[in-house]
Amino acid sequence: MTGFGRAVLELPSRKVSVEIRALNSKQLDLSPKIPSLYREKESEIRSLISSRLERGKIDLYISVEGSGTNHFNLNRELALEYAGILKALSAEIGQPTEPDYLSMILKMPDVIGSETETLEEEEWKALEKTILEAVDALDRFRLQEGELLSLELSKRVATIVSLLEQVAPYETKRIEAKREKLQKWLTELSEKAPIDANRFEQEMIFYIEKLDFSEEKVRLSQHCNYFLATMLENEGNGRKLGFITQEMGREINTLGSKANDADIQKIVVQMKDELEKIKEQLANAL
């Protein structure tokens, strides 16, 4: 499920911003972008987020505004020593022009050194709290999205149930039409050759049973109720809902293959359309 969370940490020397963006994914895929000052805590940051976010493609951005994390120092004594050596060498070899000593000296080893700032435990604890605040903001965003998604899914499932109820009138009419058609064929055949009425009755019962989809209707109704009940559970059930839609699709397909009626086929097509929309929406569910 998509989401976004942001939190800001105000420190005396700098401001730290934490942003978390999430997209739906089958497993947790965390991509952190962390300044060098906090990089030593990357393992703890990963554990912190994985303990709160079940799955998803998570992008974490930690940015720092204010004083940098690296301080550069000039070793003046060493620089002057290099300058004296270069000038003496230049005079010794008879250098005709005055070279750019400064650019040469700055490239010499140990003339410019960096002093890396260390992360204090107090600052880490504050950052840890800020990361959790960003995760909480992400969760609130996801809950809002989830409520809208739940309404949409409930509406789609209710439409399938309503369409299923519309099958009943056509179902009775279909059986009667098939019975009359078979009876007509029997009359035509009996005029040409004798017909075993008992055998014909058995065949007709077998044929009608093949057209019966009462069990499919019951199972589809049960799957719809199970889908709605599962959505009300507290834990993330995106995968479980996906499995239920597979079962719903199986019953709808069987109903369509047994329909043998244009009106029922139209209803089946509408149910398949609603089911596909449910599957598309479930791609955004945890």
- The CATH number for 60's domain is 3.30.230.40
79 with 136, same domain: the answer is: no
130 with 232, same domain: the answer is: no
148 with 106, same domain: the answer is: no
What pLDDT, in 10s, does the model give residues 229-274? 988 887 767 788 989 999 999 999 988 888 878 888 899 999 999 9
Q: Which of 67-71, 194-198, 202-206 has the lowest mean pLDDT?
A: 67-71
Per residue, the 3-state secondary structure of 178-221, as one string, reads HHHHHHHHHHHHHCCCCCCHHHHHHHHHHHHHHHCCHHHHHHHH
Provide the pairing of β-strand 56-66 with 70-74. unpaired
Cα–Cα nearest to 163, from 277, 276, 271, 259: 271
114 has a pLDDT exceeding 60: no
Cα–Cα nearest to 278, from 146, 142, 154, 143: 154
**In the prediction, which pLDDT does 67 show?**
58
178 with 163, same domain: the answer is: yes
93 with 200, same domain: the answer is: no
250 with 169, same domain: the answer is: yes
The mean pLDDT value for 85-112 works out to 76
131 with 15, same domain: the answer is: yes
Q: What is the pTM of this model?
A: 0.62
* 62 touches 17 (CB < 8 A): yes
What pLDDT, in 10s, does the model give residues 32-76? 998 888 888 899 999 999 888 877 888 999 998 875 555 567 778
163 with 270, same domain: the answer is: yes
Q: Which two tokens stand for residue 71?
A: 């301080």
The mean pLDDT value for 191-206 works out to 66
Q: Where are the alpha helices (DSSP H) in 24-165?
A: 42-50, 76-92, 101-106, 121-165
101 with 150, same domain: the answer is: no
Distance CA 149, CA 252 (A): 23
11 with 49, same domain: the answer is: yes
Q: How confident is the model at residue 97 (pLDDT cuts 50, 70, 90)?
A: low
Number of structural domains the chain divides into: 3
Q: Domain containing 40: what range?
A: 3-69+120-140
The amino acid at 281: Q
111 with 124, same domain: the answer is: no
Task: Check residues 176 and 9 and name the one with the higher pLDDT.
Answer: 9
The mean pLDDT value for 11-26 works out to 86
**In the prediction, which pLDDT does 208 show?**
65
Q: How confident is the model at residue 276 (pLDDT cuts 50, 70, 90)?
A: very high
